[in-house]
Amino acid sequence: MKRIGIFAKKGEPEAVKAVRDLQQLLSGKQVELFIEKDVASVINVRGYRREDIPSNSDIIIAFGGDGTILGVARLVGDLGVPIIGVNLGGLGFITELARDEVESSIEMIFSEKPDFEERIMLLADVYRGNKKLVKQHALNDVVLNKSALSRMFELDININDQYVTTFRADGLIISTPTGSTAHSLSAGGPIMYPTLESFLLTPICPHTLTSRPIVLPDTFVLDISVKSGDDIYLTLDGQEGHPLKVKDRIRIKKADYKTKFIVLHDRDYFKLLRSKLKWGE
């Protein structure tokens, strides 16, 4: 029996309808569904706590947009449970299927040996003095930015214990290849092929025009010290936020595990870029 974890975008009626349709589609098959409580209560079936679903699942199906996938990836963590996303949102760079492709793809989803694609994740530790305040992972990016009314701030950057530079900017984005088409792209960063094993530093509105994005091997360790500024925040995947103070230190490196995505057909990444970014139109 295949155990299927089900997540859906909160407050989205279309996501609830999609879960109900999947439930009906799987009726009579040798599967056990672990549906998160919020959705399960609407369709009148047994629900499970979000944090309990990954450890009880062989695969996970997430209905929503890229934001839904990002939250699920952090929740799965190092369990290695493969994820497939059904796009109900806007751009949908990470989601594998469109809403109307689920029924035609269902047999491939439950095949014995589906294809997988692995993506690196980042680990961010925040230190204040000798105390570790934060230890969290991100699939897309780790961002240091300021509030709307704050002035730019200064960050000392060290890579592999070697001083690199001091950024004076409105912020700094540390992105995985998966996240290169997210916040980093809007700040002028390059697009990176999603399975590359590297990460990207993109300054936001730097004070000097010579400050440019930097691509680094994922074996490197990045240390950031907050040199000056106020109302500074660290955000992970745009979903988890933590306030920072002057002299706080942030260490960012590749996580010890990767996120695993189910790939159902030959993906043409460049076709995806043309479609999502409207190239040639």
66 is catalytic: yes
Helix intervals (H) in the chain: 13-25, 37-43, 66-76, 102-109, 183-186, 269-277
* pLDDT, tens digit only, all 281 positions of the chain: 689 999 999 888 899 999 999 998 888 888 999 999 999 999 999 999 999 999 999 999 999 989 999 999 999 999 999 999 998 866 678 887 888 888 888 777 776 667 889 999 999 999 999 999 999 999 999 999 987 777 889 999 999 999 999 999 999 999 999 999 999 999 999 999 999 999 999 999 998 888 899 999 999 999 999 999 999 999 999 999 999 999 999 999 999 999 999 987 667 888 888 988 888 87
- pLDDT at residue 208, rounded to an integer: 84
Closest by alpha carbon to 21, among 92, 103, 93, 107?
103
pTM of the predicted model over 0.95: no
- pLDDT at residue 185, rounded to an integer: 95
How many whole angstroms separate alpha carbon 87 and alpha carbon 62? 8
Question: Fold identical between 2-114+264-277 and 121-256?
Answer: no
Tell me yes or no: is domain 121-256 CATH 3.60.20.10: no
Which one-letter DSSP state was computed for residue 2?
E
- pLDDT at residue 112, rounded to an integer: 63
Which one is catalytic: 38, 58, 66, 156? 66
Indicate left, alpha or beta for 12 from its phi (over 0: left) and psi (-120 to 50: alpha). Answer: beta
How many whole angstroms separate alpha carbon 228 and alpha carbon 251? 17
In this structure, are residues 120 and 247 in contact, taking their beta carbons and an 8 Å threshold? no
Domain ranges of the chain: 2-114+264-277, 121-256
In CATH terms, the fold of domain 2-114+264-277 is Rossmann fold (3.40.50)
- pLDDT at residue 92, rounded to an integer: 76
Q: How far from 268 is each of 140, 193, 264, CA to CA, in Å? A: 20, 11, 12
**What 3-state DSSP class applies to 40?**
helix
